[in-house]
Each structure stands twice: as C-alpha cells, then as structure tokens.
Amino acid sequence: MFNKNKEVTGLTTSLTHIVDDHEKFVNYNNLLAFFMKYHPIISMAKFLTFRYSFPIMLKQTALLAEHKKLGGKLVDFGGWELPVQYSGVLAEHTAVRTAAGLFDVSHMGEILVEGDGALDFVNYLVTNDVSTLAVEQAQYSALCNQNGGIVDDLVVYRLGEKKFFLVVNASNTDKDFAHIQTIYSGYDGTKPKLSNVSPQYSQIAIQGPKSELILQKLTETRLNEIKTYWCKEGKVLNIPTIIARTGYTGEDGFEIYVPWHDAPTIWGALLQTGSPDGLIPCGLGARDTLRLEMKYSLYGHELSDDTNPLEVGLGWVTKLNKKSDFVGKEAILALKNKGQTKSLVGVKSLGRGIPRQGYEVYSHDQKKRIGVITSGTSSPSLKYPIGVAFIDKEFEAVGTKLFVKVRDDFHEFEIIKTPFYKKEQA
Amino acid sequence: MSYPSQFKYTKEHEWAELLSDTQVRVGITLHAQSSLGDIVYLDLPKVGRELKANETFGVVESIKAVSDLYSPLAGKVVQANTDLTQDPGKINLTPHTEWMIVIEAQDAKAQFNALMGADEYTAYVKNS
C-alpha cells in the first residue's frame, strides 16, 4: 500500500557516478549495455530488479540534491525522480494562491525550430495559428496526429522572427520529437533546423501573486514589461535565461528556462530571496491540484493520442481557418462537420465522495454509463471534491446532475462552470 | 515521534489498542499518514458490521491517494468515530490518538497479542 523508496546501498554508490557521467538522460538500454560490459555477472533479471528497485535509476534533474536537502518526498514521475511534496500539498497549494511557490519543472522537454521556414513548419505542426505571434510572445497549442488525436499539448514561444521554442510534456518528449521528425521528413516546404534541446535546459517555475516582486530582486529585466503569455531573454543573477510570464497554476508567475547546470544557483537564490515573502518549494502534488482547480488539461488524463482537441475543449487553440494547413486538420474538420459526441466538463460533488481518474460516470437515472472521470481531487481552495469528466455531449449542460461510481457506491455530482476556482472567491 | 509500545501494528500500517479483553480500538500509524499526505476523506463502516481479519473496513483518502483500511482482527464493529469523518485532517496531526473504530471479539486479546509489537513495526517501516 505504501511504497517507500529503497535506501541506497553499497551497490548503487558506484552507479551514481555512471549516472552522473551520463548527464541528464539516462537511457536504460545504454546503461544496461554499459552494465553488462563492466559487470557481466549481473544478469538482465538482476538489472531489471535493480532498475525498478532503486530511484537512482530514474532520470534526474539538476535540482535533485536541492530537493533532498529540502526534505522533498521523491517519487517516480514519468521516469523522473521528482518531489511530489515538501511540506504538504495543502500548504504548498495555499502558498501559490496567496504568496508564491517554486517548482522544479526541468523534466519538461524543449524543442527548438529555427532558420528559414521555421514559422511555416511550426504552423504546419500545431493547431493554433503561430503566424499571429509577435517575437517574445507565447501561445498554448496542440500537436496532433493525422487522425486528429492529440500527440501532446505544448507552449510555443516565438523567440525570434525565425526562432521557435516548443515546450512539451516530459514523458512525451521522445514521442513528440519522433513525431516531429516524421512530419519533417515528409515536409515539402523549406526545412528549418530542428533540435531537441531538452538536455540543455532546466526549467524553474515561480508561481503566485508575489512572484514578480521576488524574481525582480534577482534580475534587471523589467518584469512589469512582460505581459501574460509573453517572454524575454534576460539574465537572472548573471545567468542567461528565458523569462516567460506563463504557468500552469492559474496564478500570475514566471517560467524561467535556464542552462541545465545553473538551476541550483537560481533555485537557491530565489528561495532565499523569496522566503520572507512566503515563497516555499512546491512539488508535483500541488502543481496537479492547482491546474485541476483551473480545469487545465493534463496529458494522460484529459488528453491522449485518441482524443480530438474539439472534444476536450481545445477548440480555442484549434484554428481551422488559419492560412496554413496543419497535421490533423482534415480529421478535426471531419469531426466538426459530423458533430462531436463527447465533451469535457467540470463536476462538483454534492456529497463527500472524491472523484478519481477512471471512475465511471452515470446519468442521473443511473441507467446509462455516460463517461469517465479524467482527473479529480478534493479542492484545497474550495474545500469540496471536484473532478473533470469526459462524457456524452448530450449531458454537458451546466446544472446537470449525474452520478459517479466511487468504489461500490453511486455519489451524486453536478456539472458546474469552470474554472472551478476564480480569483474573486479568495 | 515513536510508536507507542502498548499498541500493536499491522503490515498495512494500522495500529490497535487493547481497551479490554474483548475490545480493540483501531487507527492508522504515523508512517501511514505521512505516506498519504494531507488526509481529506475518511469512510468508516456502520456499527454492527462483522469483520474478518484483514478485511477492508473503510477508506482513507489524501489529496493524492486513496487507500483501503484493513481490520487487524476479526470481530464486530461496536463504535465508529464519526466525528473524525467530519474532520479527517486531524489524523495527520495526531495519528496515534485519532481512533477510527472499536472492534469487539471474545478472543480480542489473543488476536491482539498475535500482531506486531512496536519494535518489530518500527523495523518493518524502516525496511519497507
């Protein structure tokens, strides 16, 4: 029931160096080859036991030592060893809503597209209209396959006239890059330079109403000149970074892209500078509850290779009328013409039952299974259970009552307006 | 904080306290609450329910996790702490005080004595 990370024992000590030498991306196959070469006595079975027994085998961010120092509770998150919490999800969630929180999101992937043809190529890749972006502007978007399914959701930053920085989900980075390369090889237009620069960047997010005040103490870049969903290349301390006014919490804040090895310097300085204003380190647990209160989608929950952007409320980033053709357009258009049958809605418990991913959703007469919960929790800000449900479209109206099967019992829920959390309520 | 020596423990991280020769009170351990994180939901059985040893008697949920509760012994539920279900966050603060149910059985004492002692449980947690 409760898995505790194994203690690191003698055997792993030597491995620590190997992992360090391999830098950020430990490819398990490479590591296995390495292992077999120098430790031929150890069999595949032992290696596998080892790989699944020791957190040291997970990919590590440059901030792992900091997380350990701060008492972060480390977990395997999509193959990355990251803190799920430090002081507690509730405390961290509240800090972001009322002051500020610091997140290590270095596991996110970064893909750079630059040179002649960059704009047209990116516009062909993603659903949103990149041509409307000014330099230093950012845009939320989706990457689709030919069937209109979502390969990933991402943020596109236009760093220059011909320079685009695509930030994708950690566990999807390799899949995304492979997908982009496939599209690239069959692309007829001018081909820009394409590179997976994930190993070069750490990402630190500072989120919450005190973020600007805190970060401004460490940079000469005038943060009040960076509007929401805009960015600027500038120095934090003396380190070159990209400072973006973006985030995944519903609060004001910044995502800072920094050279991989410089992350600890900036992380430490931010914590020290910000703690008098209430800044605390936050884990993935709070990141999840914060995004959920905003009904922001999370890949693997609301989004998948089989979901169409129109069905999951991403019509607003799907520009079927943009000048450029894009991957998946035909399929998305076909669904639009046919009419979508599914819808993603926010639900609130009318009792105490907490909805969780995978729980079945039934019509109010309990006769028809109409969908499934994609994400759910007890909302730290609102103090009641909330969830996102992927259901038959005919039931989508706000105010509709339905049932969620929580373990063996049916619990009554109601569809409510989202975001669940609005700033005025605080 | 340590594990009270007068309690006995299960591998599923429940504690049991002997109230009399026939009654045992049950809660979850410090380690359990710490693993779960902020507890926001507790579901307990109705008074009168007959439980088998290791049978699920309820559910505890934190923000991030759902976990079943397992009965340390066979017997009948004679009390359920419904006040705690209204404010389950208290379990995080004082896990060894916040009891959940009282189980009655003729051989409660013998069943109780068969569970892990505090030292054994401490070692178990360390190695788990």
Q: Do residue A404 and residue A272 come from a single domain?
A: no
Q: Do residue A123 and residue A195 come from a single domain?
A: yes
What is residue A152's predicted lDDT score, i.e. its pLDDT?
Answer: 97
With 0-12 CB in 10 A as exposed, 13-18 as middle and 19+ as buried, what is A346? buried
| pLDDT lower than 50: segments of chain A | 1-55, 426
| pLDDT lower than 50: segments of chain B | none
d(CA A406, CA A360): 8
What is residue A163's predicted lDDT score, i.e. its pLDDT?
Answer: 98
What is residue A266's predicted lDDT score, i.e. its pLDDT?
Answer: 98
Q: Do residue A67 and residue A86 come from a single domain?
A: yes
Q: Do residue A74 and residue A44 come from a single domain?
A: no
A268, A299, A330 — which closes off a domain?
Answer: A330
Number of domains chain B is built from? 1
Interface contact B32-A2, CB threshold 8 A = yes
Closest-CA distance, A351 to chain B, in angstroms, reads 11
Q: Do residue A76 and residue A44 come from a single domain?
A: no
In a domain, B123, yes or no: no
Q: Do residue A191 and residue A260 come from a single domain?
A: yes
In a domain, A3, yes or no: no
A296, A330, A364 — which closes off a domain?
Answer: A330
Question: Which CATH number fits the domain that encloses residue A365?
Answer: 2.40.30.110
Residue A90 in contact with partner chain B when CB distance is under 8 A = yes
Interface contact B63-A2, CB threshold 8 A = no
Q: Do residue A231 and residue A295 come from a single domain?
A: yes
- Please tell me which residue of chain A has the smallest CA distance to B85: A352
Range(s) of the domain holding residue B19: 8-106
Helix boundaries (H) for B26-88: 30-36, 82-86
What is residue A56's predicted lDDT score, i.e. its pLDDT?
Answer: 52
A85: β partners: A73
Interface contact B63-A380, CB threshold 8 A = yes
What's the ipTM? 0.88
d(CA A73, CA A121): 41
What is residue A17's predicted lDDT score, i.e. its pLDDT?
Answer: 29
Cα B4 from chain centre: 13
Interface contact B63-A89, CB threshold 8 A = yes
A330, A360, A376 — which closes off a domain?
Answer: A330
What is residue B1's predicted lDDT score, i.e. its pLDDT?
Answer: 61
What is residue A57's predicted lDDT score, i.e. its pLDDT?
Answer: 77
Give yes or no for a cis peptide into A419 (omega within 30° of 0): yes
Helix axes A10-21, A28-38, angle to 10 degrees: 120
- Please tell me which residue of chain B has the smallest CA distance to A386: B63
In a domain, A355, yes or no: yes
Number of domains chain A is built from? 3
Q: Do residue A140 and residue A200 come from a single domain?
A: yes
What is residue A49's predicted lDDT score, i.e. its pLDDT?
Answer: 44
B61: β partners: B41, B66
Three-state secondary structure string covering chain A? CCCCCCCCCHHHHHHHHHHHHCCCCCCHHHHHHHHHHHCCCCCHHHHHHHHHHCHHHCEECCCHHHHHHCCCEEEEECCEEEEEECCCHHHHHHHHHHCEEEEECCCCEEEEEECCCHHHHHHHHECCCHHHCCCCEEEEEEEECCCCCEEEEEEEEEEECCEEEEEECHHHHHHHHHHHHHHHHCCCCCCCEEEECHHHEEEEEEECCCHHHHHHCCECCCHHHCCCCEEEEEEECCEEEEEECCCCCCCCEEEEEEEHHHHHHHHHHHHHHHHHHCEEEECHHHHHHHHHHCCCCCECCCECCCCCCCCCCCHHHCCCCCCCCCCCHHHHHHHHHHCCCEEEEEEEECCCCCCCCCCEEECCCCCCEEEEEEEEEECCCCCCEEEEEEEEHHHCCCCCEEEEEECCEEEEEEEECCCCCCHHHC
Range(s) of the domain holding residue A28: 10-57
In a domain, A75, yes or no: yes
A407 interaction partners in chain B (CB closer than 8 Å): 59
In a domain, B39, yes or no: yes
Q: Do residue A111 and residue A233 come from a single domain?
A: yes
Question: Which CATH number fits the domain that encloses residue A104?
Answer: 3.30.1360.120
Q: Do residue A234 and residue A164 come from a single domain?
A: yes
B41 interaction partners in chain A (CB closer than 8 Å): 352-354, 378, 385
Closest-CA distance, B65 to chain A, in angstroms, reads 9
Question: Which CATH number fits the domain that encloses residue B26?
Answer: 2.40.50.100
In a domain, A4, yes or no: no
In a domain, B36, yes or no: yes
Residue A4 in contact with partner chain B when CB distance is under 8 A = yes
